[in-house]
Amino acid sequence: MKRMKRFHISHIPAVFFLLAALSLPAQNKDLYKGRLQVESAGLKQEGDSLLLSFSVHIQGQAVTGSQSMLLIPELRAGNNTDSKTLTLPYILIDGDERQKLNERSFALAGADKRSAYHRPQMHVNTRQSTDTTLLYKLKIPYESWLGSARFVLYQQVTGYRQESRLYALSLSDKVEMEAYVPYQASPAVSFLVPDRETKARQLRGKAFLDFQADSSHIDPGFSRNAPKLARISQAVSDVKNNPDAVITGLFIEGYASPDGLYATNERLSKERSLALRDYLKTKFGFDGGLFKVSHVAEDWDGLVVQVQASGMEYRDKVLEIIATTGITAGREVALMRLANGAPYRQMLREIFPELRRVEYRVDYTVRDYTLEESKSLFSRKPEDLSQLELYNLARSYGKGTKEYTDILLEAIPGYYPGDVTANVNAAALLIENGEPNSAGRLLDRIAGTAPGGNHPAVLNNLGVIRLLAGELDEAEALFNRAKTAGSEEAARNLEEVAVKRADNQKMERYKNR
């Protein structure tokens, strides 16, 4: 029974090897007696490497004692226009006598890998009665041209006189490629820490008080004044009695409707605004220096707003008269004559009473709060928290929590609708949550304003949206602008653009192979 040897070569460093004997003509056809069988040959891409493997079964008497057999794997470019080749580490199978000669040649050549007698990666002695199986595996760095490479195995048998015969066996003409998964860019979005602010707040309201004929005195017991004054007093008391708030100013402005004499309307609007000032000053003991009082004799602007919002007949004509006829050029008379006075009478009943009012505004500041105080206040009076306090509160809950999302997407933008920081942070969270289109609408809204247009965080986050959409040129331009403006995230994102662009090129080669 024949004995069989098994040898295994795995993960051998790739080398370039040229054998001078390959160019010699074969002189003796009878020199080769044995048989060689190659099985399980293949080429397979694994990540950034190409795995080459084959199994060689060498029958006994493949070489005589005086012969050598070389097995030389080679990769050749698979198309006619590319002449690239890669010769891989070879296997040497010797007979007994030949092995001694080759060992002497290897010793003389030493470490010179350019020598024709460069030592092989494996040196096997096979005797006449012994079958030998070699398992060959080799990983080499993957290059694009290898995707279409052919795998050829050269077999050379050499005798004492260097008489050689060369055979070539094509083992594989196709690389088994991994299913290519496109690179998913992971760009860095920009969040901004809000600046510390002086928390200036305002309380606004309207008072539709009733006055007795030709009187500007506020009588709490007259008509419906009691509940109206109670609402004003409660609103002002809430601020005045808040230990965390300091009132810095009170603004009062009186308005009259456009009907009647101008001089009368001016007197009434002024006196009624002063009357509310005196009422608040007396009731709450405010210092007179806190007040600023003004008046509007005829509130034509308010009339336009009310008419535009109404469904009254002749609305457009009423608006046209107001827009084209001056106050002293007969505007009110023209309105009275329109459609025999029907629109004017309707305004007297339904709109003019809404214009006779006193508006007030209380300006105040609020102290800063700790994180624990902010948590308590957020459920009761979130309007008293600054953007920085709200931002820190959101971060304390952590990304992914409902509180974090609600504060950044709803609370802060609600209180700071045009603020760059508020919109940048909301957009950044929307991007992270997979809503780039919504984020883009927020950023586009502030990108056209100063300072939003050239803000590095705005530019970077817009670039992230373009990158995720595959618009690499647009993303790169935005990242470059953001980097110049000082964005650290943009500098990292430019690397993501380069990686994605290279990956796109790999994908094209994969599809076209």
User: Phi and psi dihedrals of 222, rounded to 5?
Assistant: -85, 135
In this prediction, residue 72 carries a pLDDT of 87
The lowest-confidence range among 45-54, 209-218, 356-365 is 209-218
Distances (CA, A) of 145 to 133, 153, 471: 31, 19, 28
Give mean pLDDT, residues 271-278.
92
Report the C-alpha gap between 484 and 478 in whole angstroms: 10
In this prediction, residue 93 carries a pLDDT of 81
What's the chain's average pLDDT? Answer: 84
409's CB contacts (< 8 A; 6+ apart) are 426, 429, 430
| Among candidate residues 184, 146, 174, 148, the one with its CA nearest the CA of residue 48 | 146
Give mean pLDDT, residues 418-423.
94
The lowest-confidence range among 23-32, 347-356, 412-421 is 23-32
DSSP states of 340-391 as a string?
A: GGHHHHHHHHHTHHHHSEEEEEEEEEE----HHHHHHHHTT-GGGS-HHHHH
Give mean pLDDT, residues 60-82.
77
In the predicted structure, residue 2 carries a pLDDT above the cut 60: no
Query: For the whole model, what pTM was predicted?
Result: 0.63
In this prediction, residue 447 carries a pLDDT of 82
In this prediction, residue 34 carries a pLDDT of 46
Scored b (16 or more CB within 10 A) or e, 91-119 reads bbbbbeebbeebeeebeeeeeeeeeebbb
The lowest-confidence range among 74-83, 182-191, 198-207 is 74-83
In the predicted structure, residue 404 carries a pLDDT above the cut 70: yes
- The more confidently predicted of residues 461 and 181 is 461
The lowest-confidence range among 28-42, 124-138, 257-271 is 28-42
In this prediction, residue 79 carries a pLDDT of 64
Distances (CA, A) of 218 to 3, 251, 265, 307, 436: 122, 18, 17, 29, 56
Report the C-alpha gap between 420 and 425 in whole angstroms: 9
In the predicted structure, residue 127 carries a pLDDT above the cut 70: no
The domains located in the chain, with CATH, are 3-172 (no CATH), 201-310+351-364 (3.30.1330.60), 368-512 (1.25.40.10)
In the predicted structure, residue 334 carries a pLDDT above the cut 90: yes
In this prediction, residue 17 carries a pLDDT of 32
| Beta strand 91-94 pairing with 122-125 | parallel
The lowest-confidence range among 21-30, 49-58, 407-416, 486-495 is 21-30
Report the C-alpha gap between 411 and 402 in whole angstroms: 12
Give mean pLDDT, residues 284-288.
94
- The more confidently predicted of residues 33 and 217 is 217
State the distance between the two ends of the chain, measured CA to CA, in whole angstroms: 49
Scored b (16 or more CB within 10 A) or e, 237-253 reads eebbeeeebebeebbbb
Element (H, E) at 134: strand 130-141
In this prediction, residue 289 carries a pLDDT of 94
348's CB contacts (< 8 A; 6+ apart) are 259
| Beta strand 91-94 pairing with 68-76 | antiparallel
Give mean pLDDT, residues 429-452.
89
In the predicted structure, residue 308 carries a pLDDT above the cut 90: yes
The lowest-confidence range among 161-165, 379-383, 467-471 is 161-165
Give mean pLDDT, residues 109-131.
61
Q: Amino acid identity of 32?
A: Y
- The more confidently predicted of residues 178 and 207 is 207
Report the C-alpha gap between 298 and 261 in whole angstroms: 10
Residue 119 binned pLDDT confidence (cut-offs 50, 70, 90): low
Query: Using one digit for the tens of pLDDT, what is the confidence trace for 77-118?
Result: 876 556 788 888 888 887 777 777 777 777 776 655 544 456
Instruction: Decide: helix, strand or coil at residue 501.
Output: helix
Residue 223 binned pLDDT confidence (cut-offs 50, 70, 90): confident
In this prediction, residue 372 carries a pLDDT of 96
| Among candidate residues 281, 337, 284, the one with its CA nearest the CA of residue 314 | 337
In this prediction, residue 64 carries a pLDDT of 75
In this prediction, residue 102 carries a pLDDT of 75
Report the C-alpha gap between 41 and 54 in whole angstroms: 4
Q: Amino acid identity of 491?
A: A
Residue 7 binned pLDDT confidence (cut-offs 50, 70, 90): very low
In the predicted structure, residue 401 carries a pLDDT above the cut 60: yes
Give mean pLDDT, residues 113-133.
63
In this prediction, residue 113 carries a pLDDT of 54
